[in-house]
Structure 1
Amino acid sequence: TQKRFLEIVQKVGCCVVGQTGNLVPADKKLYALRDVTATVNSIPLIASSIMSKKIAAGADCILLDVKTGSGAFMKTVADSVRLAQAMVNIGKQVGRRTAALITDMNRPLGNNIGNALEIQEVCKTLHGKGPSDLTEVCLDLAANMLYLAGKGKLAACREMARGQIENGQGFAKFKEMAAAQGGDTTVLDNPDAFAKAGAELEVPAQRDGFITAMDTEKCGIASVELGAGREKKNDSIDSSAGIVLLRKTGDRVRKGEPIARFYAADVEKCKAAEQLFEGAVTIGETAPAVMPLIYARVTAEGVEYMQ
């Protein structure tokens, strides 16, 4: 409930929620209109839809993680920047301190795809043992949120965020939030206690070379095939299903070497997902150029592109 949400935020300081029917109810009707008027991709309408919820929720500071690439709604950096600028400008007009980071989704972030698998990776990251790409993006997002809240200069805020991982307070706060929202925190201390999938399958590289691309959208579709997501609204989700990436974009691989491990209820699901996943991975002769994790930072002052 809205009351419980506010209680948790006031007591714990954070809460994960979804939109209810009485939060900006006109947005659902407007989206239905966009769906039949070929305006789903309209940046002004996307911006107003997203920001209406943030403003209605009452936040004084709003940080937006705007994804770009194959696994994102916005496929190009230019479009992602335009969307971010529109949302930041809306925030400015209503007196909210707003910023956005343009983050890469041309490759999976982190190594785990799937519900329980991603929570396990969250726990590792909050213990300082997570994948470097996920850790860096999380630190930059946390630093920018602290900066918006007036906690100091950006560099100092980043060190502040890193310190919360190193001293264990970040993980402790995550557990506190999970407990307040009715979660079983014992599995956070012991990730092995998560339900185990009925079957697993290692997916081998098809040739020698370097992984030059890993299409995030296709990886997501493969995870849905495993049971980690829904194809239809009424489909059930298998929380134990998903993918662990053993190799990522830029890694050198040998033919037959495992590059991913699948988890699903049965081997048939794993086999079906394997064909989809193989179409997501491109292996070439030479290593790809190193691409940034964060392309730009958008604030009311302008756009800062990262080198």
Structure 2
Amino acid sequence: MPDVVSLIRIKRDNLRPLTDPEINWLFAAYADGEVADEQMAALLMAIYLNGLDAAELRAWTGEMIASGERLDLSGLGRPTVDKHSTGGVGDKVSLVLAPLVASCGAAVPMLSGRGLGHTGGTLDKLESIRGWRASLGNDELLAALAEAGAVIAAAGSGLAPADRRLYALRDVTGTVESIPLIASSIMSKKIAEGTDALVLDVKTGSGAFMADQEDAVRLATVMAGLGAEHGVRTRALVTRMEAPLGRAVGNALEVAEAVAALSGDGPPDLMEVTLALARHMLDLAGIDADPARAIASGRALDTWKKMIKVQGGDPDAPLPRAAHRQAALPAPGDGYVARLDALAVGVAAWRLGAGRARKEDGVSYTAGVRCLAKPGDRVRAGEPVLELHADDPDRFAAALEALDGALTVTGEPPVLPPLIVAQVGA
């Protein structure tokens, strides 16, 4: 019979991989209270320092999945496919992608989260729509999927409950930034969700959780491998997040931009990433359809309206607007925007009220940043590059402080690197 102190020492001293029976015992003992939080925290630190090999990670993720229920989507009569993003600044892709892919014939069960720090949360954005609700029971979720073809909702408490306990420990012990622990956290919930296929959008750059490109590719590779090992066809794109995606950063602002995108008027960078992900999702689902045509025909927007309505929202209601606006970041001279730092813009939006510092904090649905110019755009001296939105004008000073040094203007048009950096997986 294993004991937790021995397992901690094995990982601390990197003596050997943990076996499947040891990992199975660990999760059962932790669920029963035989392993204390402080002991699990010590083991997580050892894993943070020494990692998990492929066999350990497969077993670890399998136990997290087995800690709760697994949804059965087989009765929907459509191929199921989902997408997950590691998060970024202005990343409203999910809002466009779920109804877009559903309008092409797939069922899209997208279980999403809330924002923390400078990265926005999909659920926070959608909650700016009057009446819309994130929490659905399993029967409600299946009914919404059957009716609209797509649903974006909060993950239920029954899906991978071990992940919530482990993430809470990681959050307060400095062990969040571990590729195997990140991969198992994300993939356990996605696999338990019951989807047939999954496309991952792993962000890299200043506004991404994985700023280093090599780390982002490693994470993408590990997650794609976990999906395949657990019977979910998984493909990952690594996409650049050096500047905000699109021109809107903030909850209601991003919803408005998503609706514009579904209406055929989306910013080029947002549409490039969204259409690339949509094509991969449809390919994995075995559906021969052109997502650009679904937008042009109006089908994607119709599906958006159905998706919002089945979750209690009014897709035609006006979105809330901030009480105060302020121009910001004047161009230092005539030229072209060469750099607009995503992290700085994300922190500014957070300080304006669009994000939260702790999970229990509230958010402002109206606060955020509108990008009046993006990298590659021509600007004149003194012309503002950003517009700040807030309910409380006292927030502007802290947001402006976050933007110090965020802008570079050059005399010649910059050479913009590709948005899609790499592809891994099925």
Tell whether the structures are fold-level matches, with TM greater than 0.5: yes
Q: Distance in 1 between matches of 2:198 and 2:336?
A: 39
Structure 2 equivalent of residue 78 of structure 1: 214
Instruction: Report matched runs for 1:148-187 at 5 Å.
Output: 148-152=284-288, 157=289, 160-187=290-317
2:403 matched to 1:277?
Answer: yes
- Deviations, residues 37-88 of structure 1 (Å, cap 9, x unaligned): 6542221121111110011010011111111111111112211111111111
How far does residue 162 in structure 1 lie from its aligned partner after superposition? Answer: 0.5
CA contact (8 A) 2:179 2:219 kept: yes
Deviates more, 1:275-284 or 1:77-86: 275-284
Structure 1 equivalent of residue 3 of structure 2: none
Q: Distance in 1 between matches of 2:412 and 2:370?
A: 24
CA contact (8 A) 2:331 2:385 kept: no
Structure 1 equivalent of residue 250 of structure 2: 114
How far does residue 240 in structure 1 lie from its aligned partner after superposition? Answer: 1.4
Q: State the TM-score, normalizing by the size of structure 2.
A: 0.65
Q: Distance in 1 between matches of 2:357 and 2:167?
A: 20
CA contact (8 A) 1:204 1:255 kept: no
Distance 1:35 1:258, change over 3 A: closer
Distance 1:269 1:247, change over 3 A: same
Q: Distance in 2 between matches of 1:241 and 1:269?
A: 10
How far does residue 196 in structure 1 lie from its aligned partner after superposition? Answer: 2.3
Structure 2 equivalent of residue 67 of structure 1: 203
Secondary structure, counterpart of 1:103 in structure 2: strand
CA contact (8 A) 2:331 2:379 kept: no
Instruction: Report matched runs for 1:1-307 at 5 Å.
Output: 1-35=137-171, 38-152=174-288, 157=289, 160-187=290-317, 193-208=318-333, 209-300=335-426
Residue 122 of structure 1 aligns with an amino acid whose one-letter code is A
CA contact (8 A) 1:202 1:258 kept: yes
How far does residue 32 in structure 1 lie from its aligned partner after superposition? Answer: 3.8
Residue 418 of structure 2 aligns with an amino acid whose one-letter code is P
Distance 1:211 1:29, change over 3 A: same
How far does residue 120 in structure 1 lie from its aligned partner after superposition? Answer: 0.6
**What percentage of residue pairs aligned between the two structures are identical?**
45
Distance 1:235 1:45, change over 3 A: closer
Q: Distance in 2 between matches of 1:121 and 1:14?
A: 19
Q: State the TM-score, normalizing by the size of structure 1.
A: 0.89
Residue 406 of structure 2 aligns with an amino acid whose one-letter code is A
Q: Distance in 2 between matches of 1:28 and 1:16?
A: 19
Structure 1 equivalent of residue 39 of structure 2: none
Q: Distance in 2 between matches of 1:114 and 1:254?
A: 26
How far does residue 119 in structure 1 lie from its aligned partner after superposition? Answer: 0.7
Q: Distance in 2 between matches of 1:87 and 1:203?
A: 39
Secondary structure, counterpart of 1:16 in structure 2: strand
Q: Distance in 2 between matches of 1:18 and 1:218?
A: 28
What are structure 1's unaligned runs of at least 5 residues? Answer: 188-192, 301-307
Deviates more, 1:138-147 or 1:228-237: 228-237
Bigger Rg, structure 1 or 2: 2
CA contact (8 A) 1:243 1:261 kept: yes
CA contact (8 A) 2:331 2:384 kept: no
CA contact (8 A) 2:233 2:284 kept: yes
Secondary structure, counterpart of 2:408 in structure 1: strand
CA contact (8 A) 1:110 1:133 kept: yes
Residue 305 of structure 2 aligns with an amino acid whose one-letter code is K
Secondary structure, counterpart of 1:101 in structure 2: strand
How far does residue 271 in structure 1 lie from its aligned partner after superposition? Answer: 3.5
CA contact (8 A) 2:329 2:403 kept: no
Q: Distance in 1 between matches of 2:371 and 2:169?
A: 39
What are structure 2's unaligned runs of at least 5 residues? Answer: 1-136
Distance 1:49 1:232, change over 3 A: closer
CA contact (8 A) 1:70 1:216 kept: yes
Secondary structure, counterpart of 2:195 in structure 1: coil
Q: How many residues align?
A: 289
